[in-house]
Chains A and B, each alone.
Chain A
Amino acid sequence: MSPILLRRSTIDAFISNLNLLFIVPPLSLQLVVNGMMIGALFALAAFGMALVWGVMNVINITQGEFVVLGGYVAVLMAQNGIHPFFAIIVAPVILYGVGWFFYQTIIKRVVDKELFTSLLATFGISILLQQLMNQVFGADIRRAEHGFGTWGFFDGLVTVEQIKLLAAIAAIALGGAMVLFLKKSRLGQAIRATAQNARAARIMGIDTDKVYAATYSLNAAICGAAGAMVAMIWVVEPYIGLVYTIRAFMIAIIAGLGNLSGVVVAGLSLGVAENFAGFIFGAQYQIAFIFGLLVVILVGRSFLLGRKREYLK
Chain B
Amino acid sequence: MLKHTKFLSVLACGAVVSGLAVTGPAEAKIEGDTITLGSAVSITGRYAVNGKHTKNGYDLAVKFINNKGGVSVGGKKYKLAIKYYDDESTAARGTQLAERLIQQDQIKYILGPYSSGMTKAIAPVAEKYGIPMVEANGASRSIFNQGFRYTFAVLSTSEQYLSTAIQLAAEQAKSDGKDPSSLTIALGVRNEPFALDIGAGIHEDAKKYGMKIIIDEKFPKEVSDMTSFLTKIKALKPDVVVVSAHTVGGALFVRQMTEQKANAPIVAMTHCESAKIEDSKVFGAAGENILCAGQWAPELTYKDGYFGTAMDYANTFEKLYGYVPPYQAAESSAAVLVYADAISRAGSFDTVKVRDALAATNMQTFYGNVKFAPTGQNIAKPMVLRQLQNGKYKLVAPSQWADTKLNFPRNAK
Which residues of chain A are within 8 angstroms of B225 by Cβ–Cβ distance?
Answer: 34, 38, 234
Give A140's nearest chain B residue, CB to CB: B49
B373, CB-defined interface residue at 8 Å: no
Name A141's contact: one of B228, B251, B261 (CB within 8 Å): B251
Contact with B along A28-41 (1 / 0, CB 8 A): 00110010001000
* Residue in B closest to A288 when the chains form the complex, CB atoms: B220
Contact of B228 among A1, A31, A143, A152 (CB under 8 A): A31
- Chain A residues closer than 8 Å to B275, beta-carbon distance: 141
List, in ascending order, chain A residues with CB within 8 A of B44's CB: 131, 134, 139
Which chain A residues lie closer than 8 Å to B255 at the CB level? 143, 234-235
With A141-B251, A141-B275: A284-B259 Cβ-Cβ less than 8 Å: no
Closest to A271 in B: B225
- Are A278 and B228 in contact, CB atoms less than 8 angstroms apart? yes
Contact of A234 among B222, B232, B247, B252 (CB under 8 A): B252
Stretch at the interface among B73-81, B195-203, B314-322: B195-203
CB neighbours (8 Å) of A299 from chain B are none
Q: Establish whether residues A156 and B224, one from each chain, have CB atoms under 8 Å apart when the complex forms.
A: no
Name the distance in Å between A259's Cβ and chain B's nearest Cβ: 25
Q: Is B413 an interface residue (CB 8 A)?
A: no
Q: Are A240 and B222 in contact (CB under 8 A)?
A: yes
Contact in complex: A239, B46 (CB < 8 Å): yes
Q: Cβ of B46 and Cβ of A156 under 8 Å apart? A: no
Most chain A beta carbons < 10 A, residue from B220, B227, B260, B261: B227
Greatest chain B CB density within 10 A among A141, A161, A277, A287 is at A141
Q: Chain A residues with Cβ under 8 A from B235's Cβ?
A: 20, 24, 27, 157
Docked pose: A59 CA to B219 CA in angstroms? 28
Q: Mark A168-211, 1 if CB is under 8 A from B, else 0.
A: 00000000000000000000000000000000000000000000
Contact A283 B188 (CB under 8 A): yes
B7 within 8 A of A: no
Is A269 an interface residue when CB atoms closer than 8 A count as contact? Answer: no
Contact B229 A139 (CB under 8 A): no
Of B104-112, B276-284, B333-341, the stretch lying at the interface with chain A is B276-284
Looking at the assembled complex, report how far the CB atom of B204 sits from the nearest CB atom of chain A, in whole angstroms.
11
Q: Is A65 an interface residue (CB 8 A)?
A: no
Q: How far is the CA of A58 from the CA of B355 in the complex (A)?
A: 55
Most chain A CB neighbours (cut-off 10 Å) among B52, B191, B232 = B232
Interface set, chain A 233-272, CB cutoff 8 A to B: 234-235, 237, 239-240, 242-244
Residues of A within 8 A of B282 (CB): 142-143, 145
8 Å CB contact of A161 from B223, B231, B232, B259:
B259
In this complex, what residue of B is CB-closest to A13?
B216
**B261 in contact with A235 (CB, 8 Å):** no
Please determine whether B261 and A237 come into contact, CB atoms closer than 8 angstroms.
Answer: no
Residues of B within 8 A of A117 (CB): none
Distance, CA A143 to CA B254, complexed state (A): 12
Contacts A134-B44, A140-B276, A237-B248 given; indicate if A283 touches B224 (C-beta within 8 A).
no
How near does chain A come to B4, taking the closest CB pair, in angstroms? 45
Does A57 belong to the interface (CB within 8 Å)? Answer: no
- A141 touching B248, Cβ below 8 Å: yes
Contact assessment for A284 and B191 in the assembled complex, using a CB-CB cutoff below 8 Å: yes
Bin chain B's interface residue count: 35 or more
Give the CA-CA distance A37 to B160 in the complex, in Å. 38
B117 to chain A, nearest CB (A): 15
Tell yes or no: B48 within 8 A of A by CB. yes
Whether B252 contacts A286 by the Cβ 8 Å rule is: no
- Near A by CB (< 8 A), chain B positions 257-300 give 259-261, 275-276, 281-282, 284
Select from chain B the residue with minimum beta-carbon distance to A21: B235
Residue B218 CB within 8 A of the other chain: yes
A311 and B84 alpha carbons, distance in the complex (Å): 67
Does A275 sit at the interface, judged by CB under 8 A?
Answer: yes
C-alpha spacing A1/B219, complex, angstroms: 16
Closest chain B residue to A237 by CB distance? B248
Tell me if B217 is interfacial: C-beta within 8 Å of chain A. Answer: yes
Q: Which of B217, B251, B260 makes the CB contact (< 8 A) with A143? A: B251
Pick the residue among A161, A239, A275, A283 that contacts B45 (CB under 8 A). A239
Say yes or no: A152 contacts B48, CB within 8 Å. no
Asked if A283 contacts B228 (CB within 8 A), the reply is yes
Distance in angstroms between the alpha carbons of A30 and B302 in the assembled complex = 49
A284 & B228 in contact (Cβ 8 Å cutoff): no
Q: Mark B23-35, 1 if CB is under 8 A from A, else 0.
A: 0000000000000
Q: Is B410 an interface residue (CB 8 A)?
A: no
Q: Check A150 for interface membership: any CB of B closer than 8 A.
A: yes
Given A141-B248, A282-B216, A284-B191, do A242 and B223 touch, yes or no (CB 8 Å)? no
- Neighbouring B residues of A38 by C-beta, 8 Å: 225, 227
The residue of chain A having its C-beta at the shortest distance from the C-beta of B275 within the complex is A141
> Which chain A residue lies CB-closest to B49?
A139
Q: How far is the CA of A187 from the CA of B46 in the complex (A)?
A: 40
* List of A residues within 8 angstroms of B381 by Cβ: none
How far does the Cβ of B43 sit from chain A's closest Cβ, in whole Å?
9
Q: Shortest CB–CB separation between residue B109 and chain A, in angstroms?
A: 28
Chain B residues near A278: list those with CB within 8 A: 227-229
Q: Name which residue of chain A comes closest to B52, CB basis.
A: A139
The answer to whether A287 and B220 touch (CB under 8 A), given A20-B235, A34-B228, A141-B276, is: yes
Q: Is B93 in the interface zone, CB < 8 Å from A?
A: no
- Chain B residues in contact with chain A, CB under 8 A? 44-46, 48-49, 52, 188, 191, 196, 199-200, 203, 216-220, 222-229, 231-232, 234-236, 247-248, 251-252, 255-256, 259-261, 275-276, 281-282, 284
Q: Which 9 A-B pairs have the closest CB atoms?
A: A278-B228, A139-B48, A284-B218, A34-B227, A279-B228, A243-B224, A156-B261, A283-B217, A283-B219
Query: Which residues on A are within 8 Å of B, measured CB to CB?
Result: 1, 13, 17, 20, 24, 27, 30-31, 34, 38, 131, 134, 138-143, 145, 150, 152, 156-157, 159, 161, 234-235, 237, 239-240, 242-244, 274-279, 282-284, 286-287
Q: List 28 A-B contacts (CB under 8 A).
A: A1-B203, A13-B216, A20-B232, A20-B236, A27-B234, A30-B227, A38-B225, A134-B44, A134-B45, A138-B49, A141-B247, A143-B251, A150-B261, A157-B234, A159-B260, A234-B224, A234-B225, A237-B248, A239-B45, A243-B222, A278-B229, A282-B216, A283-B223, A283-B229, A284-B191, A284-B218, A286-B220, A286-B228
